[in-house]
Amino acid sequence: TNWKVRRMGVRKLDFRKIRYISILLLGIVLAIFGGFFIQERWGGILVGLGAGLFGMSGAQLITERVMQRNPALQKKISIEQSDERNVQINNYAKAKAFEFATFLALPFFLILVLADVPLSIVLLSIAVY
């Protein structure tokens, strides 16, 4: 399939751009739909989700554009991401964050039980964790 993509003149990067633009448009639609057409609690959730998708995909598109225009920066970042020291530091930070999340999980579940939240929601949150 790779030769078909080259033959059509479409680069792999274009597919990522299309995906990010689609997510950006979905975020805009969700934010507008949630803000103007739904007045209940779900409206706020849709606005938040739409704004998050819009921000994430917009940042990715801007980052890709900057990287395309500055190959030296792209090479520098690629080297930094694959550097063994940085990989170890990132893994250590992930382990610490997981340890902290584990520390917060028990009080969160206890608060759910004490707040008289339905048992199905408590069990669902435990299953998700």
What pLDDT digit, counting tens, does each position of 35-67 carry? Answer: 888 877 788 888 999 999 999 999 999 998 998
Shared domain check, 88 and 78: no
Q: Tell me how far CA of residue 107 lies from CA of 80, 86, 94, in angstroms.
A: 38, 33, 21
- pLDDT higher than 70, residue 8: no
| 8 Å CB contact between 66 and 50 | no
Shared domain check, 52 and 6: yes
Shared domain check, 61 and 11: yes
Shared domain check, 52 and 101: no
Mean pLDDT of 69-91: 88
Q: Which domain holds residue 97?
A: 84-129
Query: pTM for this one?
Result: 0.59
| 8 Å CB contact between 112 and 122 | yes
Shared domain check, 95 and 43: no
Shared domain check, 95 and 71: no
- Give the list of residues 6+ apart from residue 20 with CB closer than 8 angstroms, or none: 57, 60, 61, 64
Long-range Cβ contacts of 102-109 (<8 Å, 24+ apart): 105/129
Token pair of 114 as six digits: 């004490």
Shared domain check, 98 and 38: no
